[in-house]
Amino acid sequence: MVVVMSPDATEEDVAAVVERVNAAGGEAFISRGVTRTIIGLVGDVEQFAELDLGAMRGVADVLRVSTPYKLVSRDNHPDMTTVYVGADSVGAVPIGPDTFTLIAGPCAVETPEQTLEAARLAQAAGATLLRGGAFKPRTSPYTFQGLGEAGLKILAEVRAETGLPVVTEVVDPRDVDLVAQYADMLQVGTRNMQNFALLQAVGAAGRPVLLKRGMSATIEEWLMAAEYIAQRGNLDIVLCERGIRTFEKATRNTLDISAVPVAHGLSHLPVVVDPSHSAGRRDLVVPLSRAAIAAGADGLIVDVHPDPASALCDGAQALTAQDIRQLAAAVRELPPLLGRVAARRAAPEEAALT
């Protein structure tokens, strides 16, 4: 059971709820978000129902749902959410049920030239958001770990040049504020899906979040990770399926295409697919992109690189100029058949109205 406090609830209001729950033998966990406080109750749910918490001062809502996640569940929120990215920089790009959004760019930011070239490739493919890593979580400590803040600056310059809002990964809770200064959307990677300190930090950062599924996380655990972000008052979350770990070796991971309709059934959050990290092979990216669109994904996130052979990270899966035409055709032709329009950027002034 979850008690959602209203934005103007006072500390006393919160304390009163906690006290009443404790008096009934329950436990109350307080999560203070940016705009509202949420109180999770653990204990005898039947008994809590008798406490009439909904009538207490400062209480906006009392949610009683059977799923272990509440705020991201579709049970209490049947309409699908649209998340807007870039509203306060170059203009908002929607990710949601009515549109189809292509996010593309280099796996890692290496140089200004490589990043700009990759962004131009991304645009040629129909992308309206730019991806690119400045902080790279790498399995081996002896491989390229990203340019850090220098990479963030390159991304901001390329955004200014191209008009593409920027999605980039953050790996350390201590870096969240820094990354949020440059980026339009914060990405939490597969290895950090259960890094709860990081989830809480991005939940409080005032930026939309792209939450990749852990490579061996169930869909339920993925939604629970999203709940950690939502608890801090941030519901601008986009889920990203990027392949799970199985015994099959022909692909780097196994794209769990079923996760798209399953997550859409359980949660109101948008779902995008990363065919590049799923497959780990360039030749599969376009077929898997088509499959993702057909399965109902709200968008794609794809690696592109002007010269994959020299890429410092994951070159084997990056699309090149030659492959872009096929991806562009898929992104242009298939979504309309499923009732979607290509997501385009609103001008900043329009975006202010969303």
Q: What minimum distance in Å lies between the beta carbon of 290 and a copy of itself?
A: 4
Letter string b/e over residues 290-321, b meaning 16 or more CB atoms within 10 A of that residue's CB: bbbbebbbbbbbbbbbbebeebbbbbebbbee
CB 99 within 8 A of CB 298: yes
For the bound state, the minimum distance from the C-beta of residue 89 to a copy of itself, rounded and expressed in Å, comes to 26
User: Tokens standing for 100?
Assistant: 């189809």
- CA torsion 110-112-113-115 (nearest 10°) is 60
User: In this chain, which stretch among 45-53, 165-173, 204-212, 319-327 interacts with a copy of itself, using CB under 8 A?
Assistant: 165-173
Near a copy of itself by CB under 8 A, which window of 78-86, 116-124, 137-145, 157-165? 137-145
Give the residue, chosen from 111, 143, 181, 310, that forms a contact with a copy of itself under the rule CB under 8 A.
143
Site for a copy of itself contains 30 (CB under 8 A): no
The span from the CA of 273 to the CA of 245, in Å, is: 16
Q: Which of 13, 149, 221, 307 binds a copy of itself (CB under 8 A)?
A: 221
Minimum distance, C-beta of residue 95 to a copy of itself, in the bound complex (Å): 19
Q: Which string of x and - marks every residue 71-110 that binds a copy of itself (by CB under 8 A)?
A: ----------------------------------------
**DSSP-assigned letters across all residues of 197-253:** HHHHHHHTSSS-EEEEPPTT--HHHHHHHHHHHHHTT---EEEEE--B--S--SSSS
Q: Which of 23, 55, 139, 309 binds a copy of itself (CB under 8 A)?
A: 139
Work out how close the CB of 69 gets to a copy of itself at its nearest, in angstroms, rounded to a whole number. Answer: 8
CB of 44 to a copy of itself, least distance (A): 13
Whether the CB-CB separation of 233 and 207 falls below 8 Å is answered with no
Q: Which helix (H) or strand (E) holds 56?
A: none
Per CB under 8 A, which region of 76-84, 91-99, 180-188, 223-231 contacts a copy of itself? 223-231
- When asked if residue 291 is in the footprint of a copy of itself (CB under 8 A), the reply is yes
Region binding a copy of itself by CB under 8 A among candidate stretches 48-56, 126-134, 170-178, 317-325: 170-178
**Phi, psi of 103, deg, nearest 5:** -110, 125
Kindly state whether residue 272 participates in binding a copy of itself, applying the rule CB under 8 A. Answer: no
Crossing angle (nearest 10°) for helices 219-231 and 259-266: 40
Burial of 206 (C-beta count, 10 Å sphere; 0-12/13-18/19+): middle
CA distance 144 to 132: 14
Near a copy of itself in 177-206, by CB under 8 A: 191-192, 194-198
Q: Does 303 bind a copy of itself (CB under 8 A)?
A: no
Stretch that binds a copy of itself, among 17-25, 159-167, 212-220, 303-311 (CB under 8 A): 212-220
278 binds a copy of itself (CB under 8 A): yes
- For residues 129 and 89, the answer to whether their CB atoms sit within 8 Å is no
Closest CA to 253 of 272, 276, 223: 276
Q: Which stretch binds a copy of itself (CB under 8 A): 8-16, 79-87, 157-165, 284-292?
A: 284-292
Size of residue set near a copy of itself by CB under 8 A: 75
